[in-house]
Amino acid sequence: MEKIQLMLEEEIYFLLLLTFSLMLIQNLITLIPIVGIIVINIALFGLVCGYIWSLATSLIGALVAFVVFRYWFQSLLINKVKKSYLEKLEQNGFLFVLFLRLIPFVPSSFINITGGVSSIRLMPFLIATFIGNALYLLLLSFIANGLLSAEIEGYMFVALVVAILPSIYLYRYLKQKFGIVENQKKKVRGG
């Protein structure tokens, strides 16, 4: 174990660059599941530092992706994103990005592409990304740490409370304000 710890200390800059690169790729094209990157970060840097590093790199990755999609690929990608997503994002960009960041299986690259091709400003995009990722990555960090240490019950309870309560409030707020669920039901019924 001491050899592994010594090796990690000697290769810290390489490991930081590697995990940053993985998170950047994840934000641009989502080839790598984010939970895998978080497990690596938690295993390498511990719960607190792994979480902070995951959050920081996810924000930098989202920023890079937003700028790339906004300034280099907007004209190519604008027709690939559903008009309804763009309309909702342009009407209520902050809440839409925040809501998407809290949904577990929405790829980061999709959110970044949608944000980049829309007219949402950078600061609301980044603030919503920070809040959403802070909650979502905290949940994933607790799960990853629990899986790595086999002490999952306490972490799971805290993580679930931290993630579910704001999500329920946000869901109810968005449902009431925008009728998101009603619009989806109409689409399913063909209306």
Q: What is the pLDDT of residues 95-148, one digit of tens each?
A: 888 888 888 778 888 888 888 887 788 899 999 999 999 988 888 888 777 665
Q: State in Å, rounded, how far the first CA of the chain is from the last one.
A: 62
pLDDT digits (tens, 9 = 90+) for 147-183: 656 555 556 556 656 666 666 666 667 666 665 444 5
Predicted local distance difference test score (pLDDT) of residue 142: 80
pLDDT beyond 70 at 35: yes
The rounded Cα 140 to chain-centroid distance in angstroms is: 10
Tokens of 84: 């309804």
Residue 118: domain span = 2-189
- For residue 129, give the nearest of 103, 100, 107 by alpha carbon: 100
What's the number of domains the chain is made of? 1
DSSP string computed for 63-110: HHHHHHHHHTSHHHHTTTS-HHHHHHHHHSHHHHHHHHHHSTTS-HHH
At residue 46, what is the residue type? G
| Contacts of residue 131, Cβ cutoff 8 Å, sequence gap at least 6 | 98, 101
Tokens 């027709």 found at: 79
Mean pLDDT score, 79-105: 78
- For residue 170, give the nearest of 68, 102, 112, 74 by alpha carbon: 102
pLDDT beyond 80 at 86: no
Q: Is the full-model pTM beyond 0.75?
A: no
Give the CB-side neighbour count of residue 142, counting CA atoms within 13 A: 17
